Amino acid sequence: MNDIRTIDTGYMGREGFAAAYLVREGARAAFVETNANRAVPRLLAALEADGLTPRAVEYVIITHVHLDHAGGASALMAACPNATLLAHPRAAPHVIDPAKLVKSAQAVYGESEFREMYGEIRPVPAERVRIMQDNETLEFGQRTLTFLHTRGHANHHFCVLDSGSNAIFTGDSFGLVYPELQRDGLFAFPSTSPTDFDAGEAKRSLDRILATGAERAFPTHFGEQRELEAIAAQLHCQLDVYGALADEAFESELQSDAIGELCQKRVRALFNELLAEHGLDGDSATRELLETDIDLNAQGVAFSVGKRRHKAAQRS
Which pLDDT score is estimated for 2?
Answer: 61
Q: How many CB atoms lie within 10 A of CB 52?
A: 18
Residues 87 and 188 both lie in one domain: yes
Distance from C-alpha of 88 to C-alpha of 104, rounded to nearest angstrom: 19
CATH value at residue 132 = 3.60.15.10
Residues 104 and 129 in one domain: yes
Residue that finishes a domain, picked among 196, 226, 256: 226
How distant, in Å, are the alpha carbons of 145, 210, 309 from that of 18? Answer: 22, 22, 34
Q: Which domain holds residue 258?
A: 232-315
Tell me the one-letter amino acid at 301. Answer: V
Residues 199 and 263 in one domain: no
33 and 47 within one domain: yes
Task: Show which of 200, 226, 252 is a domain's final residue.
Answer: 226
Predicted local confidence at residue 123, as pLDDT = 97
Q: Are residues 78 and 136 in the same domain?
A: yes
Q: Are 42 and 33 in contact (CB under 8 A)?
A: no
- Residue 1 pLDDT: 44
Residues 89 and 173 in one domain: yes
Number of domains the chain contains: 2
Residues 187 and 277 in one domain: no
Q: Which residues of the chain have pLDDT under 50?
A: 1
pLDDT for res 104: 83
* DSSP reduced 3-state for 21: strand
Neighbouring residues of 316: CB distance < 8 A, sequence distance ≥ 6: none
Residue 136 is predicted with a pLDDT of 98
Measured CA distances, 215 to 3, 16, 162, 168, 289 (Å): 15, 22, 11, 8, 28
107 and 213 belong to one structural domain: yes
Structural Rg of the chain based on CA atoms = 19
- Check residue 108 and give its pLDDT: 74
Give the count of beta carbons closer than 10 Å to the beta carbon of residue 95. 25
- Residue that terminates a domain, selected from 194, 226, 258: 226
Judge if 298 and 206 occupy the same domain.
no
59 with 198, same domain: the answer is yes
211 and 272 share one domain: no
The pLDDT of residue 3 is: 86
- Whether residues 213 and 246 fall in one domain: no
DSSP 55-121: GGEEEEE-SS-SHHHHTTHHHHHHH-TT-EEEE-TTTHHHHH-THHHHHHHHHHH-HHHHHHHH---
